[in-house]
Amino acid sequence: MTAASDAAFSFLAQRLSQPAKLFRAPVPDRAQLEEILTAALRVPDHGKLEPWRLIVLQRPDFIRLADLAGARARELGGDEAMIEKGRGQFERGLLAVAVIASPKPSEKIPPAEQFLSAGALCMNLLSLATAAGWGANWLSGWPSHDALFRARAFGCSEEERVAGLIHIATPGLPFPDRPRPTLAAKVQWGLGDAAKA
């Protein structure tokens, strides 16, 4: 058994994502962000495929993304609500890291496992940015799930997906925690009769 870290356990047990719309300047500088990114890359990655890539988004990028999202919503025949929802997070964005799931050909590691590695990278970024004292929030939104938008915005191939946009900035006012699931509702201890089926 490795040495316990009470501080790390306590932090993760109380971790909370604050709404990105409450974030404000300043944001991490390049050196601060590189430190977070370096640590975040220590992620489960079976086969050492590195099936992800990262794009750091700053204010000029968000303006371009908002315009692309608005244009794509109109192409899809979307109403004003869809246009606003598509543009919204980008218009308000200060700094984010786009985590692009980029699966690699492999006979041993299935694509689903590679996508999970990208998700784990999102969680690492979220936790590390928060541990460093920043506000952090994992978002996506409908544009990130639209193949044409993600190709135009992030240069995604057909196989690639946006695992998440991790917004990082100065947190706003304290935000209350939300109700959390109970163990009784979500945890099954052993297989029981299911193993006999």
The domain 21-172 is placed in CATH, from the list 2.40.50.100, 3.90.180.10, 3.40.109.10, 3.40.630.10, at: 3.40.109.10
Q: How many CB atoms lie within 10 A of CB 119?
A: 17
Residue ranges covered by each domain of the chain: 21-172
Residue 60 pLDDT:
97
Residue 17 pLDDT:
87
How far CA 12 is from CA of 5, 6, 8, 40, 185, in Å, comes to 11, 10, 6, 15, 21
Task: Give the start-end residues of each E strand in the chain.
Answer: 52-58, 95-101, 135-139, 161-169
- Rama region for 48: left / alpha / beta (φ>0; ψ in -120 to 50; rest): left
87 contacts 66 by C-beta, under 8 angstroms = yes
Instruction: Please give the Cα distance from 77 to 64 (Å, whole number).
Output: 20
pLDDT tens digit sequence for 156-193: 999 999 999 999 999 988 878 889 999 999 999 999 87
- Residue 71's pLDDT band (cuts 50, 70, 90): very high
Mean pLDDT on 93-116: 97
Residue 194 pLDDT:
64
Does the pLDDT value for residue 20 go beyond 70? yes
Would you state the torsion angle of the CA atoms of residues 154, 113, 116, 187, taken in this order, to the nearest 10 degrees? Answer: 160
Residue 195 pLDDT:
62
Q: What is the pTM for the complete model shown?
A: 0.94
Which helix or strand (DSSP H or E) is residue 177 part of? none
Average pLDDT of the chain to the nearest whole number:
95
